[in-house]
Each structure stands twice: as structure tokens, then as C-alpha cells.
């Protein structure tokens, strides 16, 4: 089996969580909010906007996007299990979100079909050809449309999750092309790495103008029931936010 196929299957297995935890997700969706920095940046852009959410996963953020004013959200994910669970929840709550099963970086969606691409929180690391992905997002956005990413900081793969002291893992490099994920949710899947500079240059190279880039100390996700890692004590970057406009 190719590494790519292994990763896809790992995600299909991991997405069973969305079915097992359907009832909890349904309750979370009723009150889901974006992070404060996301609300601050996206609030003015979301009123009446058609949003595309590549690698939408559980799709809880889609409910928050609608609550902030999005007219509709289209989620794309290659896991049928993830897409079906998200669609069932959106239908049950009568929220204007639709989900399609498709494999990025390319889609057969029409050009210029969206006002805002919203993604992240564990999305970009699964894309091998980030330049092709960024070009596709550029194609799908209307002129002047926005790309927003809230993602793990590229340094995160280097942090050990020790609770006593922040340490750099000896088996990782900031400049590596990737590594195999050894934690939940998609254990065994191939993560693609790129440096902060590579991410920014790739987005700009696809035809976007960078409007905002910030690094944040808190991780976007913490495993349930585990002691917080010392690497999350506020001294190190754990997440980034990026907003760019299609030229």
C-alpha cells in the first residue's frame, strides 16, 4: 500500500470518532465559536459570504462560520465517514452547510465559486503538494476573495509532549520534508512539513497578497485527559494564523 493510501485509510478510520461522538458533536455545534483571533479577522468578511472549507473533518467550525454570518459553507473531505457525519448534523440543525467527498489538492468545482476559503487545525500537513493546493484555492476564490488558515505552527512537530520541561525531539528536524504521525488522531499517517517561510512563499507564489500572519503560543488542540505539555507554557509558538487576499 502506498504511503498516501495508508494516510487516507488512517483518516477514514480516525473519522469513525465523529460517528461515535455524534451526540456530543451535535451539542457542541449548537454553540460552536471560532477562536477570538478568527472572529476578529473573519467577522467583517463573513457577512453573506459563501465559504469553502477544505479538509473539513468534523466540521464543527462550519456552524460557527454560519453563526458569524456566512450564507453557506461547503466542506470538502476525502473521508466519506467524516462528510456523512457532518452532513447529518447540519441537516438535523437546519444549518446551510453541505459536504462533498473529494480528494484535494484538485477539485472539479467551478472557478470563482467562493468568497472565503477557511481551513486549518490539522489540515495542511496532509497535503503533499501545497503549491497545487494553494493554486486550487486561488482558482476557486472570486477576485478579491480571502484565504484564511489557522494551523499548527511548523515548529510543533519538534516539540516533545513532556509535562515537566519543554524539549526538542531528537528524531525531528524543522527542515525535514515530513514525518510519520505517532499520536492520535491519524497515527501512522504521513505528515508533510514545511517551514513558515515555505508556507508564506507558497501562498504568495499562488497569487495571494498576505494581509495577516501571526504566531500563537497556545495549541489549537490538546488531547483529553493528558497533562498539558511544557511546550505549551506560553514561551513557544504552537499555532499560526494567516489571512491572504486573492489578487
Ligand X SMILES: C[S@@+](CC[C@H](N)C(=O)[O-])C[C@H]1O[C@@H](n2cnc3c(N)ncnc32)[C@H](O)[C@@H]1O
Residues that bind ligand X (CB under 6 A): 11, 15, 55-58, 61, 77-79, 82, 103-104, 120-123, 126-127
Q: Which residue is nearest to ligand X (CB)?
A: 57
Which residue, 5 or 170, is less far from ligand X as judged by CB? Answer: 5
The closest alpha carbon to 124, from 101, 97, 100, 153, belongs to 153
Q: Give the span between the Cα atoms of 72 and 3, in whole angstroms.
A: 34
Which CB, 45 or 117, lies closer to ligand X? Answer: 117
Radius of gyration in angstroms for the set of CA atoms belonging to the chain, rounded to a whole number: 17
- CA–CA dist 32, 40 (Å, integer): 16
Q: How far is the CB of 182 from ligand X (least distance, A)?
A: 15
Contacts of residue 31, defined as CB under 8 A and 6 or more positions apart, other chains included, come to none
**Helical segments of the chain, H only:** 3-14, 16-20, 22-31, 36-46, 60-67, 80-92, 130-140, 196-205
C-beta of 58 vs 194, nearer to ligand X: 58
- Cβ nearer to ligand X, comparing 49 with 119: 119
CB of 64 to ligand X, least distance (A): 11
CB of 123 to ligand X, least distance (A): 5
| Alpha-carbon span 28 to 44, nearest angstrom | 24
**Minimal distance in Å, beta carbon 147 to ligand X?**
14
Amino acid at each position: 500500500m502506498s504511503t498516501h493510501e495508508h494516510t487516507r485509510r488512517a483518516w477514514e478510520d480516525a473519522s469513525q470518532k465523529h460517528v461515535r461522538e455524534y451526540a456530543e458533536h451535535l451539542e457542541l455545534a449548537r454553540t460552536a465559536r471560532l477562536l477570538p483571533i478568527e472572529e476578529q479577522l473573519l467577522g467583517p468578511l463573513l457577512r453573506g459570504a459563501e465559504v469553502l472549507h477544505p479538509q473539513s473533518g468534523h466540521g464543527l467550525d462550519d456552524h460557527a462560520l454560519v453563526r458569524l454570518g456566512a450564507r453557506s459553507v461547503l466542506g470538502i473531505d476525502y473521508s466519506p465517514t467524516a462528510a456523512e457525519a457532518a452532513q447529518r448534523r447540519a441537516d438535523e440543525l437546519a444549518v446551510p452547510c453541505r459536504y462533498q467527498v473529494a480528494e484535494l489538492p484538485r477539485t472539479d468545482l467551478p472557478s470563482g465559486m467562493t468568497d472565503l476559503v477557511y481551513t486549518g487545525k490539522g489540515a495542511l500537513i496532509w497535503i503533499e503538494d501545497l503549491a497545487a493546493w494553494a493554486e486550487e484555492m486561488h482558482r476557486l476564490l472570486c477576485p478579491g476573495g480571502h484565504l484564511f488558515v489557522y494551523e499548527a505552527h511548523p515548529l510543533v512537530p519538534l516539540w516533545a509532549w513532556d509535562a515537566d520541561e519543554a524539549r526538542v525531539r531528537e528524531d525531528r528536524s524543522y527542515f525535514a520534508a515530513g514525518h510519520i504521525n505517532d499520536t492520535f488522531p491519524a497515527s501512522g499517517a504521513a505528515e508533510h512539513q514545511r517551514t513558515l517561510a515555505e508556507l508564506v512563499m507558497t501562498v504568495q507564489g499562488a497569487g495571494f497578497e498576505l494581509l495577516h500572519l501571526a504566531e500563537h503560543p497556545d495549541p489549537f488542540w490538546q488531547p483529553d485527559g493528558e497533562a498539558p505539555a511544557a511546550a505549551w507554557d506560553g514561551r513557544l509558538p504552537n499555532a499560526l494564523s494567516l489571512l491572504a487576499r486573492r489578487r
